[in-house]
């Protein structure tokens, strides 16, 4: 009996040791069946180094770098997470979701999936997945193409930028654009007046707070850098192209006059036409006034002229006057909008208050505008980004976007304010 017992004990001991061996972290299938892939290229921002490209995260070398990826969860529940990455060595990473951190060791020189763990009781709304390097064996912490998530917090309403079809990694990182489309009288409108106040802290770099939009162009204020701000007025050419060089001479926008220190030229990429801007140090917390005129001419053209009231100088400043050929119309499709034009700041919230809108007709009669329809661009309508809002604040409208706030306001909602009662006091004969 003894000679049979010893082999049996050896087999049992070997079997016991095999079962005790921990599974490799990167090879264990621990996701739920509803796993989805979230691309880094359209959903991620970094702090203190590293770069987000369409292919993912590169240049991740510092332990101070924070990599932030955002996903909207329409319900609370569990969340499993893994990383699709090439470590380029052996590294330890920290992954944080809603204040709870887990560490994972990743190793190798090819891209593969590394399971990180399961988070319980993740709240509905936008969840930020934050990556940070802890230790590394080589120069960097690797490249990351995407994250994979699953769990009971996911459903058909889970939202993020899903793919780069039609360049939506770019548009998604810019964030959703939002608009106010005003209900206007049926009379022929020759002037459009409005005001904008950007609350302190909302003048984020990359913001365009567009005050006076019309069927053929737009007029408002921008934050172009930490040291430069502009008053921007542009008019589209009637010739459909994104390349201003391709516009035939008979369809080019003509600059008739411009104010002091105003740059004028052409623009492209989102349509093409005539552009003007004044570098001007407008500040958050102040209210700025805008006046746009549109006057059809007898030669089948329309002249558009933009004025900006500078409270710092207590006077109206001429921005520019453009002549648009093959056009014979008064002002139509009046609107305001808010957009971010820098993908790198699409994770920061900005808002503006749009107030006291008026229009003036061919008889010189001013009419106040008190109704606006809230709309958003395709980034919002495709549910790639849900951080957008509009509504009323005091007796004015507001627009808000970016920064992954929650909840959103329903697109195509209609808002009303009390009709403003004091018409603009403008001496048109004294305008520059």
| Domains of the chain (ranges, CATH numbers) | 27-163 (2.60.120.260), 173-430 (no CATH)
Mean pLDDT of 279-284: 98
Q: What is the pLDDT of residue 262?
A: 98
Report percent pLDDT > 90 for the chain.
Answer: 90
Average pLDDT over residues 296-323: 97
- pLDDT beyond 60 at 13: no
Rounded mean pLDDT of 349-370? 98
Using CA atoms, how far apart are residues 7 and 24, in angstroms rounded to an integer? 29
User: Distance between CA atoms of 130 and 107, rounded to whole angstroms?
Assistant: 20
**CB-based contacts of 81, cutoff 8 Å, min separation 6:** 95, 97, 115, 116, 117, 118, 119, 129, 147, 148, 149
Interval 309-324 mean pLDDT? 96
Please report which confidence band the pLDDT of residue 4 belongs to, taking 50, 70 and 90 as the band edges: very low
Output the pLDDT for position 403.
98
The four Cα atoms 232, 284, 377, 58 give a dihedral, to 10 degrees, of: 100
pLDDT in the model for residue 29: 62
What's the pLDDT score for residue 271? 87
What share of the chain has pLDDT > 70, as a percent? 93
DSSP secondary-structure letter at 250?
G
Q: CA-to-CA distance for 96 and 204, rounded, in angstroms?
A: 26
pLDDT digits 0-9 by tens, 213-264: 999 999 999 999 999 999 999 999 999 988 899 999 999 999 999 999 999 9
CB of 403 closer than 8 Å to CB of 387: yes
Residue 28's pLDDT is 55
Q: Is residue 330 predicted with pLDDT exceeding 90? A: yes
Mean pLDDT, residues 131-137 = 97
What is the arithmetic mean of pLDDT over 12-31? 48
Average pLDDT, stretch 362-369? Answer: 97
Rounded distance, CA 367 to CA 52, Å?
Answer: 48
The pLDDT value given to residue 269: 83
Beta bridge partners of 313: none
pLDDT tens-digit series, residues 74-127: 999 999 999 999 999 999 999 999 999 999 999 999 999 999 999 999 999 999
Read off the pLDDT band of 1 (50, 70, 90). Answer: very low
**CA–CA separation, 6 and 11 (whole Å):** 9
Residue 239: how many other CB atoms lie within 10 Å: 18
Check pLDDT > 50 for residue 270: yes
Q: Which residue has the higher pLDDT, 411 or 238?
A: 411
Cα maximum dimension of the chain? 118
Lowest mean pLDDT among 269-273, 334-338, 400-404: 269-273
CA distance 159 to 73: 7
Burial of 96 (0-12, 13-18, 19+ CB in 10 A): middle
pLDDT (tens digit, 9 = 90+) per residue, 183-209? 999 999 999 999 999 999 999 999 999
Quote the CA–CA distance of 155 and 35 in Å, as a whole number: 10
| Beta-carbon contacts of residue 307 (< 8 Å; ≥ 6 apart) | 290, 291, 292, 293, 316, 317, 318, 319, 431, 432
Enumerate residues 6+ apart whose C-beta is below 8 A from 334.
181, 182, 184, 189, 192, 212, 213, 214, 357, 359, 369
Q: Is the confidence at residue 58, as pLDDT, over 60?
A: yes
pLDDT for 6 equals 35
403-417 as b/e, with b when 16 or more CB fall inside 10 Å? bbbeebeebeeebeb
């Amino acid at each position: 009996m003894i000679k049979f017992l010893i082999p049996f004990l050896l087999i049992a001991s070997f079997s016991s040791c095999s079962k005790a061996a921990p599974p490799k972290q990167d090879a264990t299938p621990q996701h739920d069946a509803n796993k989805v892939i979230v691309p880094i290229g359209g959903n991620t921002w970094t702090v203190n180094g590293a770069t987000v490209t369409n292919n993912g995260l590169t240049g991740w070398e510092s332990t101070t770098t924070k990599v932030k990826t955002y996903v909207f969860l329409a319900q609370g529940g569990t969340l499993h997470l893994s990383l699709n990455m090439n470590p380029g060595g052996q590294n330890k990473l920290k992954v944080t979701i809603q204040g709870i951190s887990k560490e994972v060791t990743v190793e190798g020189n090819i891209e593969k999936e590394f399971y990180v763990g399961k988070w319980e009781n993740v709240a509905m709304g936008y969840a930020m997945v934050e990556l940070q390097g802890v230790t590394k064996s080589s120069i960097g912490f690797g490249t990351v193409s995407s994250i994979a998530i699953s769990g009971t917090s996911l459903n058909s309403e889970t939202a993020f930028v899903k793919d780069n079809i039609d360049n939506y990694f770019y548009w998604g990182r810019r964030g959703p654009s939002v608009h106010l489309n005003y209900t206007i009288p049926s009379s022929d409108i020759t002037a459009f007046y409005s005001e904008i106040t950007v609350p302190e802290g909302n003048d984020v770099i990359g913001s365009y707070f567009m005050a006076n939009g019309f069927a053929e162009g737009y007029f408002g204020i921008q934050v172009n850098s930490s040291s430069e701000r502009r008053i921007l007025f542009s008019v589209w050419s009637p010739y459909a192209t994104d390349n201003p060089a391709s516009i035939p001479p008979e369809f080019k926008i003509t600059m008739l006059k411009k104010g002091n220190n105003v740059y004028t030229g052409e623009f492209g990429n989102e349509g093409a036409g005539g552009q003007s801007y004044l570098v001007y140090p407008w500040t958050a917390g102040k209210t700025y006034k805008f006046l746009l005129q549109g006057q059809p001419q007898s030669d089948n053209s329309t002249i558009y002229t933009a004025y900006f009231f500078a409270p710092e100088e207590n006077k109206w400043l001429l921005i520019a006057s453009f002549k648009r050929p093959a056009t014979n119309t008064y002002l139509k499709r009046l609107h305001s909008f808010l957009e971010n034009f820098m993908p790198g700041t699409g994770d920061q919230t900005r808002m503006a208050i749009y107030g006291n809108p008026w229009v003036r007709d061919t008889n010189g009669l001013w009419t106040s505008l008190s109704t606006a329809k809230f709309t958003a661009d395709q980034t919002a309508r495709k549910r790639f980004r849900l951080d957008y809002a509009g509504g009323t604040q005091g007796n004015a409208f507001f627009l808000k976007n970016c920064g992954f706030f929650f909840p959103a306001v329903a697109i195509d909602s209609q808002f009303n304010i009390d009709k403003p009662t004091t018409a603009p006091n403008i001496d048109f004969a004294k305008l520059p």
